[in-house]
Amino acid sequence: MSVSEILDVVATAAPEIRSGLPGRRTKIDEQNRSGERQLAADVWADELLGDRLAAVDSVGAYASEERDEVENVGDGYLVAVDPLDGSSNLRSNNPMGTVVGVYDDDLPTTGRSLVAAAFVLYGPITTMVVARDGSTTEYVVEAGDRRDVGEIALPEEPTVYGFGGRVPDWPAGVADYVETIEGELKLRYGGAMIADVSQVLTYGGIFAYPMLQSRSSGKLRILFEGAPIAYIVESAGGSSSDGTRSLLDVEVTEVHQRTPVFVGNADLVDRLEATV
């Protein structure tokens, strides 16, 4: 019940977050711990989710991409949230969403302590994808209720790929790998991890925000983005990697620790690890 309660809170908040977006597209004079300028929507979604989740009995700590430190609120799960992943897409009216990881552990930990992970995708419709107990399920969210629309499993045959970062900033191994797969797959990259991962879950392929020459750990955060999305993709029959190992095996010692992220069909991830 307690994990379901956490997921229900996120589903109930989704329509409220979505309806509050139009008036909050402006940048504010604040940065998050990762040095990213915040939108009014980032702070508002974080406050709404933080308040609601902190009130759930089974939540012991709330961590957010928008907050410097973990907020201890009692005994229970560590809930790590990216309140609005891809919020820069708000100004251009492109998809974005919310990512949630439910860890049965405190920091330091790994993604192996996840008991559930989910994302809400604010696309043409609002959907929620939930991974728990070894499977990944999609829900349509309407008026705060989530309606089960079936289990998700990566298609055998991959179709799409999306790699973040600037091409000249990719290490040679990443550039070589992309040069190979761009002859096999179609480019799908939209600037919001979960919208791009949703393409991979639906059509098969690989999403990555790789290590960069300028930043060997890449851009994405392991606690809020890498581990939860790896849990979702691996529960859907895919694989994940930081270039060497499953993202679920990466030790998380710092709240805003970054990691290279590769998720998708197992053979594509295997080929990636053999190349970088």
Interacting residue ranges for ligand P6P, rule: CB under 6 A: 85-86, 88, 164, 191-193, 209, 219-220
Closer to ligand P6P at the Cβ: 86 or 210? 86
d(CA 105, CA 59): 11
For residues 122 and 209, which CB has a smaller minimum distance to ligand P6P in the complex? Answer: 209
Residue nearest to ligand P6P (CB): 193
To ligand P6P, the closest distance from the beta carbon of 192 in angstroms equals 5
Strand order in the sheet with 160-163: 186-187, 160-163, 205-209, 261-264, 239-241
Closest distance between ligand P6P and the C-beta of residue 57, in Å? 31
Could you tell me the smallest distance in angstroms from the CB atom of residue 225 to ligand P6P?
Answer: 6
In terms of Cβ atoms closer than 10 Å to its own Cβ (0-12, 13-18, 19+), residue 274 is: exposed
Cα separation, 248 vs 113, in Å, equals 9
Least Å distance, CB 36 to ligand P6P, is: 7
Question: What are the backbone dihedrals phi and psi of residue 242, each rounded to the nearest 5 degrees, phi first?
Answer: -100, 10
Q: Which of 29, 42, 49 is nearest to 84 (CA)?
A: 42
Distance CA 127, CA 267 (A): 28
The one-letter amino acid at 135: S
Q: Which is nearer to ligand P6P, 15 or 191 (CB)?
A: 191
For ligand P6P, the closer of residues 12 and 88 by Cβ is: 88
- As measured in angstroms, the least distance from the Cβ of 121 to ligand P6P is 12
Least spacing, CB of residue 133 vs ligand P6P, in Å: 26
Residue 240 one-letter amino acid: S
What is the Cα gyration radius of the chain? 17
- 26-55 burial string, b = 16+ CB within 10 Å, else e? eeeeeebeeeeebbbbbbbbbeebbebbbe
User: Which helix (DSSP H) or strand (DSSP E) does residue 187 occupy?
Assistant: strand 186-187
State the nearest-atom distance from the C-beta of 6 to ligand P6P, in Å: 22
Residue with Cβ nearer ligand P6P (59 or 201): 201
Closer residue to ligand P6P, CB minimum distance, 8 or 36: 36
Nearer to ligand P6P, 59 or 261 (CB): 261
